[in-house]
Amino acid sequence: MPAAFLAGGSIDRVNTTSVVSLLSAIEDTGRDTRRGGYSRPVYSSAELQLREWFTAEAARRGLAVETDRNGILWAWWDLSDSSASAGPAGVPDRRGALVTGSHLDSVPGGGAFDGPLGVASALAAVDLLRARERDGSLVRNRALAVAVFPEEEGSRFGVACLGSRLLAGTIDPRKALALRDADGNTFADVSRTHGLDPEAMGRDDAVLRTIGDFVELHVEQGQGLNTEEFTDAAGRGPALAVGGSILGHGRWRFSFTGQGNHAGTTLMTDRADPMVAAAQLIVAVRQTASAQPGARGTVGRLEPVPGGTNVIASRVELWLDVRHPDDAVTASLVEKIHGQAQKIAAFEGCTVHMTEESSSGTVHFDPALQRSLEQSVARTVPGAPVLATGAGHDAGVLAARVPTGMLFVRNPSGISHSPEEYVENDDADAGVTALADVLEDLL
Ligand code: GLV
Ligand code: MN
Ligand code: MN
Ligand code: MN
């Protein structure tokens, strides 16, 4: 195996345990040879292949797979074998079930683990739990489901956690359905193509009632477990952490409009160039966010229109991502950046318009569920720390409706949304064992 293959965020096959072999089966799906890593936007052929992989693996485990009206996949391990647990007419009683899972879509050129690790670990944890049920050490009191959420990254339609937001009713379905991908397709049309009824999408109380608790396992996406506070003499951090909170975050789109023109015939003094305005705003974002302790400000996407080497752009679309633990600070940072954009645009002879695409307040996970996770995880990793994360997750969205919690698996690179994201086999195994313990204790 070439070294670049391992460095490319793939899976070390030395140790073929269940979660590792599950992930190995999808390591070629959605590889992005141009950017490196994986590009698996929602409802792309890569993401659809991953859904098929998940459906087959869930079916192999005897789970009943269903797609709900928001396109979320559910693999149910019902209590139906026991007649006492079945509701009227033998319909399985799924109210207040325990749910785990994550997502299979990715950012452009993302790593192998962001999303799929949580899904594969959930399937592997079901294997452990089935074995425990067989040997009599596990008695289940409620159903368990593994869920796969669509468009967690918002890399195709712009709003992250779109599936869980629709389910929870934290986005207006009319807004969601009107979202467009880079080719101009609406979310409504794409959903219809994939067998969903756009008219039926939105808050689903029947599905929400089936979620008693939601636990998401995820690769750690920063240096959280690699900091000196947690590492041993060899510099190695603990394999796992329990989630404490998610930074408030949001996305804002700035449209700079100037005068499209010829690169050769337009004097430097005669230009109203929106690329120049956008470039200055990028620098201003860096300065403004750096001056605010705890803040993150990022411009990771820019689209000049029409986008020619010898063309002064007529318009530039720029996307801003801002995060901070205090929602009021996030709002004031965005307001400040908006003011800077207006000044910069005016100076260049351009105009600018800002639109909020999404925003989510800081989330603190359910305290009782967090304590339960800490106790269960301690059996695998004594003293596993509680970590705040700067990344968004479906668990953060669902927290508005149901108790949610998270487990993070150590990422030695501390890098994510990049091919360098990494997880070691032993840590992935520890994650599955701890997830199984967490689920067992909650079942
Ligand atoms: C998604 O992973 C995000 O945090 O933006
Ligand atoms: Mn993720
Ligand atoms: Mn992500
Ligand atoms: Mn995420």
In the chain, the N- to C-terminal Cα span, in Å, equals 41
| 194 in a known ligand binding site | no
> Digits of tens for pLDDT over the chain (443 positions)?
223 233 334 443 333 358 999 999 999 999 999 999 999 999 999 999 999 999 999 999 999 999 999 999 999 999 975 444 455 566 889 999 999 999 999 999 999 999 999 999 999 999 999 999 999 999 999 999 999 999 999 999 999 999 999 999 999 999 999 999 999 999 999 999 999 999 999 999 999 999 999 999 999 999 999 999 999 999 999 999 999 999 999 999 999 999 999 999 999 999 999 999 999 999 999 999 999 999 999 999 999 999 999 999 999 999 999 999 999 999 999 999 999 999 999 999 999 999 999 999 999 999 999 999 999 999 999 999 999 999 999 999 999 999 999 999 999 999 999 999 999 999 999 999 999 999 999 99
Distance 318 CA to ligand 2 centre (A): 23
Ligand at minimal distance from the CA of 417 is 3
| 324 in a known ligand binding site | no
Distance 153 CA to ligand 3 centre (A): 5
Atom of ligand 1 nearest to the CA of 161: 1
pTM of the model: 0.92
Out of 337, 360, 383, a domain closes at 360
Distance 103 CA to ligand 4 centre (A): 9
Q: Dig out the tokens for 352 from the structure.
A: 């600018």
User: Is the separation of the CB atoms in 226 and 423 below 8 Å?
Assistant: no
Both 294 and 370 in one domain: the answer is: no
User: Is the separation of the CB atoms in 122 and 115 below 8 Å?
Assistant: no
Out of 360, 382, 412, a domain closes at 360
Q: Which domain range does residue 284 map to?
A: 248-360
User: Is the separation of the CB atoms in 38 and 420 below 8 Å?
Assistant: no
3-state SS, residue 249: strand
ipTM: 0.94
**Number of structural domains in the chain:** 2
| 114 in a known ligand binding site | yes
Both 89 and 195 in one domain: the answer is: yes
Residues near ligand 1 (Cβ within 6 A): 153, 160, 391-392
Q: What is the CATH number of the domain that holds 177?
A: 3.40.630.10
Q: What is the CATH number of the domain that holds 289?
A: 3.30.70.360
Both 85 and 109 in one domain: the answer is: yes
Both 208 and 273 in one domain: the answer is: no
Distance 371 CA to ligand 3 centre (A): 25
User: Is the separation of the CB atoms in 320 and 337 below 8 Å?
Assistant: yes
Both 73 and 159 in one domain: the answer is: yes
Q: What angle do CA 37, 39, 43 make, to 5 degrees?
A: 155
Both 131 and 277 in one domain: the answer is: no
Both 291 and 314 in one domain: the answer is: yes
Both 243 and 140 in one domain: the answer is: yes
| 417 in a known ligand binding site | yes
Residues in CB range of 123: below 8 A, 6 or more apart = 18, 19, 22, 54, 57, 58, 61, 146
Both 194 and 336 in one domain: the answer is: no
Both 280 and 329 in one domain: the answer is: yes
Both 105 and 190 in one domain: the answer is: yes
Q: What are the DSSP calls for 268-289, one per residue?
A: GGG---HHHHHHHHHHHHHHHH
Distance 269 CA to ligand 1 centre (A): 41
| 251 in a known ligand binding site | yes
Atom of ligand 1 nearest to the CA of 392: 4
Q: Which of 103, 153, 247 to mutate to test the pocket of ligand 1 (most atoms within 8 A of CB)?
A: 153
Out of 360, 383, 404, a domain closes at 360
Both 221 and 109 in one domain: the answer is: yes
